[in-house]
Structure 1
Amino acid sequence: MGDKMLKLLPFVLLAISSVQQVSAAKNDPNTLSAKVAAKVMMEILHQPYNEHAYSDADANTNTNVDPDSNSDSYYSYHYRGPPQPSASAGGLQQKLASHGKYYFGACADPNTLNIASNVNVLKSDFGCVTPENSMKWDATEPNRGQFNFGNADQLVNWATSNGKMWDVCNEIFEENGSLRQSVFARVLGESFVTVAFQAARKTDPKAVLYINDYNLDSVNAKVNGMVSLVNRVNQANPGTIDGIGTQMHLQSGQGSTAQAVLTALAAANVKEIAITELDIVQAPVNDYTQVVNACLNTPKCVGVTVWGVSDTNSWRASSNPLLFDGQYRPKAAYNAIISAL
């Protein structure tokens, strides 16, 4: 693979994601999203854009952002509309928005939206929808040169028609705070982070751009590495990265560390931070309220997203980590958060 093709890789999902908000259903590369993505990538490389040549782009990388994967997802994109307490009065979104925060969100995908109970909870309690899998690279380009944006568009169309917001996030750090040794890091070095964010900025100047990672659950080497990288990038190119996201897939008892983590991340040279994929084994009341209160007490923290609607939908279903049980009934942690807000 040539150097130019290697340099294309980081921008595929960034560019495609940024135009999902205005695109209609599309299932092949001769579509609006694919064309705009190709144009952005060609401009970054200072190459002429040829829509008939795009399907030959060599972008054979399979991504997955689950913590247990060996993913090559090394960029972060976050789109958010204005704050809007669109959920029912008294629900999580309305309560958190009353404290000046942007959103209390959940992840979803078309398979989530096909279940009426999920939709009812999303409408009543959540103000932001994060694509769980439908905007990952293996979903939008399951085979080299074969594009499918159907699931991504379905989610975005549902979100926009219901007054929700949406985002896409990925990971770049090893546990020791260094960059993962991906093809991007090996070829471009640390500069790939700046290049990727600049590509996203060029694609959608109004987007809020985040860098996001997992295991930022205590003030550890990974947190310090994240803060250091963001500060270096934004010092060299002010305003490149708008925010930092911490996923917070927690074990019982870890909620007590949330405040220290958010304080450390908020000390970075960014406009805002967010909790992006929260779930806690067995959903302890104290842990959930500690995490939400930590966001409330951190001015830069703009919102909280839980990683699923009900325990049935969770990637950690056996540990019952979410705010609604398998019958979509609010759990004790939900009621405690409502009371705290």
Structure 2
Amino acid sequence: MKASLKLFLILAGILICQPVFSQENGPGLKEMFNDAFYIGTAISYRQASGEEQAAWPLLEKHFNSITSENMMKWGPIHPEPGRYNFVSADQFVELGKKLNAFIIGHTLVWHQQTPKWVYQNEQGELLGKEALLERMEKHIETLAGRYKGQVHGWDVVNEVFEDDGSYRESEWYQITGRDYIIKAFQKAHEIDPGAELYYNDYNLWKPEKREAAIALAHELRERGLRIDGIGMQGHYMLDSPPVELIEASIIAISNAGFKVMVTELDMDVLPRPRASEGADLNKNYALDEKFNPYKDGLPKEIKDKFAKRYAEIFSVFYKHRDKIDRVTLWGLHDGASWLNNWPVRGRTNYPLLFDRDFKVKEELIQSISPSKF
């Protein structure tokens, strides 16, 4: 055998035997950001139950915080008067313990996914203020009480403001005014004084809405109530909102004396109908194929734009790691994302860091590495 050929085969063998570095065998997200903030994800029913077995390696490697996506909302966990369904919520909490994760309960009070019976008496008439507040407090006592000392933080009240900073005219507000917010924080702290308590909302990059949330948080503290932080839902798009507005809200909330949580982070890569900015579940449309252009995968141009956008946003998060306590993605992988069905039902979306086959999006993960900032 010629010496040159022999040398070539030896070198080839060495290269073949060497493992190729990739994010599959590289550091996980929680390791990448271990000096910055918790990295969290929303947990689905199938992931909590263990049915989605491929989820476990990703959860174990990448995340040190988890949030219940739907299983602790009023409708799923308390569907009828006097009846609770704790099976999935129990599984979620046990999963968090196995992961040694910071566990977030979501959410105690919200205008969506709350059954109509909550606001009504046995005759179907609207409850009075005191009766509704009593019903809400009993719900919080039962739910937060069951997981006392196990859930580390609660989204106590969710999405009470319109984008202009005015109060949402929900049934809660129509019947009780703002008292339901005050009573919810009061009761949550009474039931589990060791848990952190948050207000959570979308589009807090809008100054009017952000300032309304800060004013509410100040008022709660002035009343002697516990509120630890404000959750900025990160339901972003490829070209909106500007990162400068996201950064301005991080700074404003922190300067006001509250922890910042980036919650429900995802990136919608698909075109939307008009008037569907944010996360208002009432704005939902039937499938129109013009809003579902990438059924067979993203073109390179969109992939590149997607990675660049995530990198810009994470660079802001890392810059302000002294202010941000947690960054939580809203779903583990593309197939589990709510954005496949909002604001247009039945679409194929690609908003997260892992694809439908539970594979790491290599270039995307590498682009958000702190070493790149």
TM-score by length of 1: 0.68
Aligned counterpart, 1:262 = 250
- The letter of the residue matching 2:232 is T
Residue of structure 1 aligned with 2:309, choices 275, 284, 287: 287
Structure 1 unpaired stretches of 5+:
1-87
Partner Cα separation in structure 2 for residue 175 and residue 315 of structure 1: 21
Query: 204-213 or 170-179: which moved more?
Result: 170-179
Report what 2:228 is aligned to. 242
CA contact (8 A) 1:288 1:333 kept: yes
In structure 2, the partner of 1:223 is 210
Which residues of 2 match residues 1-341 of structure 1 at below 5 A? 90-99=27-36, 101=37, 103-112=38-47, 113-167=50-104, 168=106, 169=155, 170-216=158-204, 218-237=205-224, 240-254=226-240, 256=243, 257-270=245-258, 272-282=259-269, 284-298=306-320, 299-317=322-340, 318-331=348-361, 332-338=363-369, 339-340=371-372
Q: Which amino acid aligns with 1:250?
A: Y
- Cα offsets for 1:170-220 (capped at 9, x unmatched): 32111221222233323433233222111111111111100001122x233
Deviation at residue 253 of structure 1 after TM alignment: 2.3
- Distance in 1 of aligned mates of 2:328 and 2:99: 17
Cα distance in 1 between the residues matched to 2:71 and 2:65: 16
Partner letter of residue 293 of structure 1?
A: S
| 1:258 positional shift | 2.2
- AA partner of residue 134 (structure 1): M
What is the DSSP-based 3-state SS (H/G/I as helix, E as strand, rest coil) of the residue aligned with 2:33? helix
SS in 2 for 1:328: coil
1:143 Cα deviation (Å)? 2.2
Structure 2: distance between partners of 1:142 and 1:194: 24
Tell me if the contact between 2:173 and 2:180 (Cα under 8 Å) persists in the aligned partners. yes
In the aligned structure 2, how far is the partner of 1:243 from the partner of 1:177?
18
Matched-pair contact (CA < 8 Å) for 2:64–2:99? no
2:328 and 2:250 mapped to 1: Cα distance?
15
Structure 1 or 2, whichever has the larger Rg, is 2
Q: Sequence identity, in percent?
A: 31
Give how far 1:138 is off: 0.7
> How far off is 1:289 after superposition?
2.0
| Cα deviation 1:248-282 (Å, max 9, x = unaligned) | 11110236232122112223232x11101000123
Amino acid at match of 2:235: H
Q: Distance in 2 between the 1:190 and 1:297 partners?
A: 35
Question: In structure 2, the residue corresponding to 1:129 is in which secondary structure?
Answer: strand
Name the SS of the counterpart of 2:338 in structure 1.
coil
SS at match of 1:180: coil
> Any gaps of 5 or more consecutive residues in structure 2?
1-24, 107-154, 270-302, 341-347
Which residue number corresponds to residue 36 of structure 1?
A: none
Does the CA contact (< 8 Å) of 2:96 and 2:103 recur in 1? yes
TM-score relative to the length of structure 2: 0.63
- The CA deviation string for residues 131-152 of structure 1, in whole angstroms up to 9 with x for no partner, is 0110011111122222110000
> SS where residue 54 of structure 2 aligns?
helix
**Aligned match of 2:7:** none
In 2, Cα distance between equivalents of 1:268 and 1:192: 23
2-structure distance, mates of 1:323, 1:267 = 30
Query: Residues 209 and 241 of structure 1 are in contact (CA less than 8 Å); yes or no, is this contact kept in structure 2?
Result: yes
Contact 1:258 1:290 (8 Å CA) reproduced: no
> Is contact 1:234-1:269 (8 Å) kept?
no
CA distance in 2, matches of 1:150, 1:241: 29
Contact 1:234 1:240 in 2 (8 A): yes
